[in-house]
Chains A and B, each alone.
Chain A
Amino acid sequence: MTMTKDIYKITAAVMLLLSAGVSGATAQKTPEEESTMQFRQVEKTLLWAGSKNAAGLSFMNFPSISYAEGFYSKNDGDFVKYYNSNDSYNLGLRTESYTRVNKVVFYGMLEYDNFRGHNMTYSGFIHPERYMIGLADDLPRDKRSETYTLKGGIAAPVHKNLVIGGRVNYQTADLAKMRDLRHKTKLLDFEIIPGVMYKTEYVNIGVNYIYHKFHEKVEFSAIAPDQQVPYNGYYLKGLFFGMQGIFSESGLNMSRPVVDVINGVSGQMEIGVAKNLQILGEFTYKTQKGRSGAGKDNSLTENNGDHYLSYLKIAHSAKGFRQYLTLNTNYTDAKNYDNVYTTVKIGGISTIIQLGKSIIFSQRTFDINAVYELALGDKAYNPSWVINVGAGRYSRSSVSSLLNPIYYTQTVHCENIWGSVKKNFTWGKNMIDVTALIGAGRGKGDKLNQRVSNLVESEFDEELLPMQYEYLFEREWEFLTATKFNGMAGVRYSYLMTKKMAGNSAYVDVKYEYMRGKNIKIADGKDARVIKLTLGMNF
């Protein structure tokens, strides 16, 4: 199978960049640096922080670091995805920590996010791009949501060379549309990743298992229906083809649960190429099965998919600078099927008879992105300059096959590049970080092709072509392929604390992000803006 050959290629590519050496993060801390430590910069020195295998946290060689912050962001602008708001805000609290207790390392993150948005419609899901179906109405109204996220990781050595670890990621969210046609959506996302790592002088090898389940339940209702306004409902099954009708409990009802379960396995290999140069490679295979509808026997659609992910991080440090190269790839192959069944009464009892599955949508995506970072300065955890350059490419092919013999295809390729610079100023108890970022992106592809299967030699009534929600289709295509420019400017002021009990530093951070699209015709506007204010403390 082609993907097996690609697995070998990825492994070979990683191996070509490796050679024997030592392992572990090499950044060293000094006591006087502690008050100026910045969480994200510290985290980068831990090579395994981006790995799924928590056993790699055991390489943490910096002092325990944590932060707690409250944030507020205001989002405006019409050049957003079709299901996002052009006028919304987020308000929340977050805390994150790496802590070592004797030989055991702990990681934890806790976040609460309160969201309110105006003029929102076109999807009942909290994460619409996760699923191969869409459930939507078309009346823009206010939406509110609350999201609670908990992440945890632990690494504990059980032997001189053997470390066990585990990650737990848990998220729950509620989303509600406040007026008819209203909906409430509940999300439960749970992931557990047990892992193990074997350390040697020259190479560290890890393996972990992944179990991930996420579940969204959407319930549409009309509490006080306005007789003058039609409540249109849409049940979309890929490329925005599907069913449209007037919402009713007995007719077109978009309420249903969607459940997906992912099982996977990852393998890691870390090799020290030379002193102060480490390379970590990780390969992950995941298989996904999901359904929509109440219960396995009554499911309306079933989907399955295969995911192949790779992660490569190279870290190099020397006197006065550190550099990191991170490469991520993600290949996905997914299919969605309609369950075809009929209901008959046998002995007075309604019985469902499954007739088979019809493929209605298939999609393959390939995502690759690389980031290079150069950090200059003597302080390992608070460099004077941080320069980043990144590039990414996203490709997607889709086939919608709702009505034999007609089917529709689409391919799209999106590319983006970006660069950022951060400068740190420290004097006395004051510290300022100034950040600027610019980026650009564009996309192209084959928007939509109608094809006819050569397996059906008959006349076909072309008046019965599947319904497509053309506005959403065009809007998504425009967002993917329009030439975009984006920029960000941010300032963080930190007050350094010398007394440990008060923490290392308190900070206030202001960021402004701007994106503009070129030749925008479908969305109501060509730009979008985010301003974010954060107050926090490192300790």
Chain B
Amino acid sequence: MRKIIGILAILSIIYSCDSNLDKLVAENPYAEGTRKLNIQLVYPEGYESEVKKGVTIMVINPSNRVQYKLKTDERGFATIDLQYGFYRVTASDKGEPEFGGIMPLFNGSIDQTRVTDESTEDINIEIDFVRSYTNQLVIKEIYHAGSALVEPPATKNQYDKYLIIYNNSDKIAYLDSLCFGMVGSGYNAPSSPTPWSYMSDGQRVIMEDIPITLAAWQFPGNGNDYPLQPGEETVIAVCAAIDHTILYPELSVNLNVSGYWVTYDYGAGFTNASYHPAPGANLAGHYLRILSKWGAGNAYTLSVSSPALVIFRIQDPEGAVSYANQTKNPQNFSKEPGSAGATLYLMIPGSWVLDGVECFDAGTKYKRVPPLIDASYSLLPTVDQYKGYTHHRKIDVQATAEAGGRIVYQDTNNSIEDFEIRKSQSIKK
């Protein structure tokens, strides 16, 4: 009898242990080790009535690129349970058209929201929207990651970089005095928070005045010399304005094309013949000049991996050349915060920027550009470099239809939504 009871006891142990195993797969593993993040959108003064239900908030985990899309309720509020880590939170919205039919854009982001195990209480953050408007001139395409020979020895070519500026409006725009430059202390997206930022209520905020690194380039002209019609574009070769398809036929492009522009100012100090060879004959008279250059480098090295580019107009009453004169106006230059280095960077108010795009080679990098200009980033991973891949703005289908077939590109000042990666340059024949 005792033996039977003992056997039954052992069988009950087996059943009990099996039940414990079944309980494991029935439990939610995320019930522990998470905290609630509450997000409140705050519209700028005068636009409080724009608060609405259904605004998309993106919560991005940069370490694994997981993105959560939340929708606000009628109070502009959303909430989510998140595992420990740090997240980027970005939001964009369009407002009601204002006088003249101009539609305001609202963008906001917090680059590093920390979700930690220091407490079990909810984390409350506010995203302060910054208002901007869609611009006439937008950056349509950035090609920076280079090309290579398809067959061995697979020699790489990083000198065929370019960007395209496009007139996204229904009115004539002018390239005269338009400037462009790279943002940040270095060429590449940083692996730690940009020094041009500060902590506010536990969250990291990027400064709205942006530093231009290496040099600022400017189109020539007296105001009406270089028009760009609605739907027209112009290509700026950033290194060698030559026909790269001679040596790299499969993946590169011909930049020696009439109408293209090139960053070429030999006299200003960029004399490196690999980066800045004599431009092709078709680009005669289409040279961007250096507005301001600092440092002793002899080449304008647009980042192969992760540039942040802006186009801007200097709205100083004394003119762009004066504004960018370090001797005459040293207050317009600044050292890198917290750095002992002597390098000075030309500072541009964010409100002067017409358009900007932040490019990353990995989701784990840190932003350099404030949400006023670009709320997120466009990602071209390292493994896709030297393949002829390019960041290209998406077409706004509805706006294009409304424009009667003239292509209108999407412009919400949020690159993760506005841009896509294409596997070939748009100018490749």
Q: Which of these binds chain B: A3-11, A127-135, A263-271, A469-477?
A: A3-11
Tell whether, in the assembled complex, residue B30 and residue A327 are in contact, meaning their CB atoms are under 8 Å apart: no
Q: Does B64 contact A (CB under 8 A)?
A: yes
- Cα A112 to Cα B383 with chains together (Å): 46
Chain A residues near B64: list those with CB within 8 A: 402-403, 464
- Cα A428 to Cα B33 with chains together (Å): 72
Residue of chain A at shortest CB distance from B2: A16
From B17, B24, B67, residue with most partner A Cβ within 10 Å: B17
Q: Which of these binds chain B: A254-262, A390-398, A478-486, A489-497?
A: A390-398
Shortest B341–chain A CB gap in Å is: 13
Chain B residues near A458: list those with CB within 8 A: 59, 68-71, 80
Task: Give the residue of B18, B69, B86, B117 whose beta carbon is less than 8 angstroms from that of A366.
Answer: B18
Residue of chain A at shortest CB distance from B152: A227
Extra inter-chain contacts (20) besides given A3-B20, A355-B85, A453-B28, CB under 8 Å: A13-B9, A246-B383, A329-B13, A342-B86, A355-B84, A356-B33, A356-B116, A357-B33, A357-B117, A359-B29, A359-B32, A397-B24, A398-B25, A403-B66, A404-B66, A453-B29, A455-B30, A456-B30, A458-B68, A461-B67
Shortest A2–chain B CB gap in Å is: 6
Q: Does B429 contact A (CB under 8 A)?
A: no
Residues of A participating in the B interface, judged by any CB pair closer than 8 Å: 2-3, 5-6, 9-10, 12-14, 16-17, 19, 246, 327, 329, 331, 333, 337, 340, 342-345, 354-359, 362-366, 368, 393, 395-399, 401-405, 407, 409-411, 413, 446, 449, 453-461, 464
Chain A residues near B29: list those with CB within 8 A: 359, 362, 399, 401, 407, 453
Shortest A529–chain B CB gap in Å is: 33
Residue of chain A at shortest CB distance from B68: A458
From B3, B30, B34, B81, residue with most partner A Cβ within 10 Å: B30
Chain A residues near B67: list those with CB within 8 A: 460-461, 464
- Cα A246 to Cα B65 with chains together (Å): 18
Residues of B participating in the A interface, judged by any CB pair closer than 8 Å: 2-3, 5-6, 9-10, 12-14, 16-22, 24-25, 27-34, 59, 63-71, 80-86, 114-117, 192-193, 383
Shortest B15–chain A CB gap in Å is: 10
Shortest A342–chain B CB gap in Å is: 6
Chain A residues near B114: list those with CB within 8 A: 342, 355
Shortest A401–chain B CB gap in Å is: 4
Shortest A477–chain B CB gap in Å is: 16
Chain A residues near B12: list those with CB within 8 A: 9
Tell whether, in the assembled complex, residue A464 and residue B65 are in contact, meaning their CB atoms are under 8 Å apart: yes
Tell whether, in the assembled complex, residue B9 and residue A455 are in contact, meaning their CB atoms are under 8 Å apart: no
Chain A residues near B22: list those with CB within 8 A: 397, 411
- Cα A357 to Cα B29 with chains together (Å): 13
Task: Give the residue of B2, B10, B27, B115 whose beta carbon is less than 8 angstroms from that of A356.
Answer: B115
Tell whether, in the assembled complex, residue B86 and residue A405 are in contact, meaning their CB atoms are under 8 Å apart: no
Shortest A390–chain B CB gap in Å is: 15
Tell whether, in the assembled complex, residue A404 and residue B25 are in contact, meaning their CB atoms are under 8 Å apart: no
Tell whether, in the assembled complex, residue A13 and residue B66 are in contact, meaning their CB atoms are under 8 Å apart: no
> Which 6 A-B residue pairs are closest in the complex by CB-CB distance?
A356-B84, A356-B117, A13-B9, A401-B29, A397-B21, A409-B25
Shortest B35–chain A CB gap in Å is: 9
Chain B residues near A395: list those with CB within 8 A: 17-18, 21
Tell whether, in the assembled complex, residue B13 and residue A6 are in contact, meaning their CB atoms are under 8 Å apart: yes
Chain B residues near A399: list those with CB within 8 A: 24-25, 27, 29
SS of B interface (majority): mixed
Residue of chain A at shortest CB distance from B31: A455
Tell whether, in the assembled complex, residue B84 and residue A357 are in contact, meaning their CB atoms are under 8 Å apart: yes
Tell whether, in the assembled complex, residue B193 and residue A344 are in contact, meaning their CB atoms are under 8 Å apart: yes
Task: Give the residue of B6, B13, B69, B192 whose beta carbon is less than 8 angstroms from that of A16.
Answer: B6
Shortest A83–chain B CB gap in Å is: 24
Residue of chain A at shortest CB distance from B71: A458
Tell whether, in the assembled complex, residue A345 and residue B192 are in contact, meaning their CB atoms are under 8 Å apart: yes
Chain B residues near A17: list those with CB within 8 A: 2-3, 6
Residue of chain A at shortest CB distance from B3: A17
Chain A residues near B63: list those with CB within 8 A: 340
Chain A residues near B21: list those with CB within 8 A: 364-366, 395-397, 411
Shortest A249–chain B CB gap in Å is: 15
Shortest B29–chain A CB gap in Å is: 4
Q: List 19 A-B pairs, Cβ < 8 Å.
A: A3-B20, A9-B16, A13-B10, A343-B192, A354-B116, A355-B84, A355-B85, A355-B86, A359-B29, A363-B24, A398-B25, A399-B24, A411-B21, A453-B28, A457-B80, A458-B68, A458-B71, A460-B67, A461-B67
Chain B residues near A19: list those with CB within 8 A: 2
Residue of chain B at shortest CB distance from A403: B66
Task: Give the residue of B13, B68, B84 whose beta carbon is less than 8 angstroms from that of A9.
Answer: B13
- Cα A355 to Cα B116 with chains together (Å): 5
Tell whether, in the assembled complex, residue A344 and residue B192 are in contact, meaning their CB atoms are under 8 Å apart: yes
- Cα A17 to Cα B116 with chains together (Å): 52
Shortest A112–chain B CB gap in Å is: 38
Tell whether, in the assembled complex, residue A327 and residue B65 are in contact, meaning their CB atoms are under 8 Å apart: no
- Cα A13 to Cα B192 with chains together (Å): 60
Shortest A331–chain B CB gap in Å is: 5
Tell whether, in the assembled complex, residue B33 and residue A359 are in contact, meaning their CB atoms are under 8 Å apart: yes
Given contacts A358-B85, A404-B30, A464-B64, contact A9 B9 (CB under 8 A): yes
Chain A residues near B115: list those with CB within 8 A: 355-356
Chain B residues near A329: list those with CB within 8 A: 13, 17
Chain A residues near B69: list those with CB within 8 A: 458-461
- Cα A404 to Cα B80 with chains together (Å): 11
Tell whether, in the assembled complex, residue A16 and residue B32 are in contact, meaning their CB atoms are under 8 Å apart: no
Tell whether, in the assembled complex, residue B30 and residue A407 are in contact, meaning their CB atoms are under 8 Å apart: yes
Chain B residues near A459: list those with CB within 8 A: 68-69
Residue of chain B at shortest CB distance from A227: B152
Chain B residues near A331: list those with CB within 8 A: 17, 20
Chain B residues near A327: list those with CB within 8 A: 10
Chain B residues near A6: list those with CB within 8 A: 13, 16-17
Given contacts A16-B9, A359-B32, A368-B14, contact A340 B83 (CB under 8 A): yes
- Cα A402 to Cα B83 with chains together (Å): 10
Chain A residues near B28: list those with CB within 8 A: 407, 453-455
Tell whether, in the assembled complex, residue B5 and residue A16 are in contact, meaning their CB atoms are under 8 Å apart: yes
Tell whether, in the assembled complex, residue B25 and residue A397 are in contact, meaning their CB atoms are under 8 Å apart: yes
Given contacts A397-B21, A397-B22, A464-B67, contact A13 B6 (CB under 8 A): yes
Chain B residues near A13: list those with CB within 8 A: 6, 9-10, 13
- Cα A397 to Cα B18 with chains together (Å): 9
- Cα A454 to Cα B9 with chains together (Å): 38
Chain A residues near B59: list those with CB within 8 A: 458
Chain B residues near A404: list those with CB within 8 A: 30, 34, 66, 81-83
Tell whether, in the assembled complex, residue A453 and residue B18 are in contact, meaning their CB atoms are under 8 Å apart: no
Chain B residues near A446: list those with CB within 8 A: 25
Task: Give the residue of B68, B71, B81, B85 whose beta carbon is less than 8 angstroms from that of A460.
Answer: B68
Residue of chain B at shortest CB distance from A412: B21
- Cα A520 to Cα B116 with chains together (Å): 47
Shortest A445–chain B CB gap in Å is: 10
Residue of chain A at shortest CB distance from B25: A409
Tell whether, in the assembled complex, residue B20 and residue A2 are in contact, meaning their CB atoms are under 8 Å apart: yes
Chain A residues near B24: list those with CB within 8 A: 362-364, 397-399
Chain B residues near A405: list those with CB within 8 A: 30
- Cα A327 to Cα B85 with chains together (Å): 46
Residue of chain A at shortest CB distance from B195: A345
Shortest A265–chain B CB gap in Å is: 20
Shortest B131–chain A CB gap in Å is: 26
